[in-house]
Amino acid sequence: MRLRTACPATPRAWTVELRSHAGGLVLICRHCPHGTTPITAASARSAALAHLARHVRSDLRPPHLRICQCHERGCRWHPRHRGCAGPIRLLLACERGGRLWRLTDACSACAAATARAAVVPDTVLARAPQPPATARRHRRSKGPGERIRVREMLSYLAAALPENTSAAARLLALQCALRMNTHMRVRLSKGVMRSLRLNAASGPWHELEHARWLRTTPGGAANEIAAELLDLTLLGQAPARPDRRRAADWALRASSSSAVRAIGPLPRLASVYLAASTDPESGTGLGDLEQMARACGTRTAELLGTLDQLVAAGLLGSWQACPDSGDLQWTSSERRWNGPQPRSRHNSPEA
Ligand SMILES: [Zn+2]
Ligand SMILES: [Zn+2]
Ligand SMILES: [Zn+2]
d(CA 167, CA 117): 19
Architecture of domain 257-338: Orthogonal Bundle (1.10)
Nearest ligand by distance to the CA of 67: 3
Nearest ligand by distance to the CA of 108: 3
Nearest ligand by distance to the CA of 84: 3
Nearest ligand by distance to the CA of 35: 1
Helices and strands, number each (H, E), in the chain = 13, 12
Nearest to 30 by CA among 43, 48, 45, 46: 48
What's the pLDDT at 187? 92
Q: Is 52 helix (H, G, I), strand (E, B) or coil?
A: helix
What's the pLDDT at 106? 94
Pairing of strands 100-107, 185-189: unpaired
> How far is the centre of ligand 1, averaged over its atoms, from the C-alpha of 10 (Å)?
13
Fold identical between 147-240 and 257-338?
Answer: yes
> How far is the centre of ligand 1, averaged over its atoms, from the C-alpha of 250 (Å)?
37
> How far is the centre of ligand 3, averaged over its atoms, from the C-alpha of 80 (Å)?
11
Nearest ligand by distance to the CA of 31: 1
> How far is the centre of ligand 2, averaged over its atoms, from the C-alpha of 65 (Å)?
18
What's the pLDDT at 140? 45
> How far is the centre of ligand 1, averaged over its atoms, from the C-alpha of 165 (Å)?
27
> How far is the centre of ligand 3, averaged over its atoms, from the C-alpha of 229 (Å)?
31
> How far is the centre of ligand 3, averaged over its atoms, from the C-alpha of 83 (Å)?
7
Question: Could you tell me if 184 and 194 are in contact, meaning their C-beta atoms sit under 8 angstroms apart?
Answer: no
What's the pLDDT at 349? 42
What's the pLDDT at 235? 60
> How far is the centre of ligand 3, averaged over its atoms, from the C-alpha of 55 (Å)?
21
> How far is the centre of ligand 3, averaged over its atoms, from the C-alpha of 278 (Å)?
26
Question: Could you tell me if 300 and 293 are in contact, meaning their C-beta atoms sit under 8 angstroms apart?
Answer: yes
d(CA 270, CA 166): 12
Question: 1.10.510, 3.40.50, 1.10.287, 1.10.10: which CATH number matches 147-240?
Answer: 1.10.10
Query: Could you give the residue ranges of the DSSP H alpha helices within the chain?
Result: 44-57, 69-72, 108-113, 132-135, 144-160, 167-179, 190-196, 203-210, 241-254, 258-261, 265-277, 289-295, 300-312
Q: Domain segments of the chain: what residues? A: 10-120, 147-240, 257-338
d(CA 229, CA 176): 8
For residue 128, give every residue at least 6 positions away whose Cβ sits within 8 Å of its Cβ, in sequence order, or none: 60, 61, 62, 63, 65
- Rg over CA atoms, the chain: 21
DSSP of 277-297: HB-TTTSEEEEEHHHHHHHTT
For residue 258, give every residue at least 6 positions away whose Cβ sits within 8 Å of its Cβ, in sequence order, or none: none
Low pLDDT (below 70) residues in the chain: 1-10, 35, 122-144, 199-201, 219-220, 235-240, 261, 335-351
Report whether the peptide linkage leading into residue 342 is cis, meaning its omega lies within 30 degrees of zero.
Answer: no
Average model confidence (pLDDT) across the chain: 81
What's the pLDDT at 310? 92
Question: Could you tell me if 46 and 25 are in contact, meaning their C-beta atoms sit under 8 angstroms apart?
Answer: no
Q: What are phi and psi of 328, to 5 degrees?
A: -120, 130
| Burial of 34 per CB tally in 10 Å (0-12, 13-18, 19+) | exposed
Q: How many CB atoms lie within 10 A of CB 167?
A: 22
What's the pLDDT at 240? 61
Pairing of strands 284-288, 327-332: antiparallel
What's the pLDDT at 41? 79
pTM of the predicted model, to two decimals? 0.75
Q: In this predicted model, what pLDDT tens digit does every residue of 100-146 receive, in sequence order?
A: 999 999 999 999 899 888 888 754 444 444 444 444 444 444 434 88
